[in-house]
Amino acid sequence: MASLLELKEIFRSADAVCFDVDSTVIREEGIDELAKFCGVGDAVAEMTRRAMGGTVTFKAALTARLGLIRPSYEQVQKLISDNPPQLTPGIRELVSRLHQRGVQVFLVSGGFQSIVEHVAAQLNIPTANIFANRLKFYFNGEYAGFDETQPTAESGGKGKVITHLKEQFHFKKVVMIGDGATDMEACPPGDCFIGFGGNVVRKQVKEKAKWYITHFDELLKELEER
């Protein structure tokens, strides 16, 4: 197992950095915001807490929550325009610094493609660098489920994405940064996990992560010290 010093060296020399989105890159949980917008906020927030605590499989939790919300295409678009996701302080600067260093930045999310694309555009991250879940709609815009073939639709999916990135781009060192159990599970195959508690602290992650931060400035400082 790598020591904290070794993890910091991996981060400073990484080829690619993967960020979780909900409660990491943005301040809120996209699915909870969508639920509130559709009038079922409390019930879905409780399901999210259970999913992030690692007590139910991710796909089961996602299926149950979306079955309750049943968002239409119009509701998703209106959520993004009326309540755009709020970037976490420091993330814009950190992503910009990583790009300057020639590091590839990816958004790997159990959230929804349409919301994550909006976030990526603000951070100059290309759409091709997004791995997220895709909602499906009938021709009249009604909810029709989600694409269950996406790796991010199930537990262990983020690790599968990292394996895919290593195979496709021959990355030697890939870092995963996130707040939840699904992010921590991605290392290995990820080479370094950095737990993030700047928006919400997941007890299990804080206890188990060797490197745990509460502000992205901590990572910016690591890059400046080199």
Q: How far is Cα 12 from Cα 27, in angstroms, rounded to an integer?
A: 25
Total-model pTM: 0.89
Is the Cβ–Cβ distance between 209 and 178 less than 8 Å? no
Beta-carbon-side half-sphere exposure of residue 48 (alpha carbons within 13 Å): 26
pLDDT grade, residue 111 (50/70/90)?
A: confident
| Domain 4-29+85-224 architecture | 3-Layer(aba) Sandwich (3.40)
Q: Is the dihedral of CA 124, 189, 156, 5 positive or negative?
A: negative
- Residue-wise pLDDT for 141-159, tens only, equals 999 999 988 888 887 889 9
pLDDT in tens, 149-204: 888 888 788 999 999 999 999 999 999 999 988 888 888 898 989 999 888 888 88
**Closest by Cα among 225, 163, 213, 177 to 9:** 225
In angstroms, how far apart are the furthest CA atoms of the chain? 54
Q: What is the pLDDT of residue 77?
A: 92
Name the range with the highest mean pLDDT among 97-111, 147-161, 199-213: 97-111
Among 3-7, 50-54, 60-64, 133-137, where is mean pLDDT lowest? 50-54
The total of other beta-carbon atoms located within 10 Å of residue 121's CB is: 11
The domain spans of the chain are: 4-29+85-224, 32-82
Catalytic residue IDs:
20, 22
| Spatial distance between the Cα atoms of 137 and 146, rounded to a whole number of angstroms | 8
DSSP string, 102-129: T-EEEEEEEEEHHHHHHHHHHTT--GGG
CATH code at 32-82? 1.10.150.210
**Chain mean pLDDT for the chain:** 88
Quick check: 158 and 176 in contact, CB under 8 A? Answer: yes
Q: Is 39 left (phi over 0), alpha (psi -120 to 50) or beta?
A: left
Same fold, 4-29+85-224 and 32-82: no
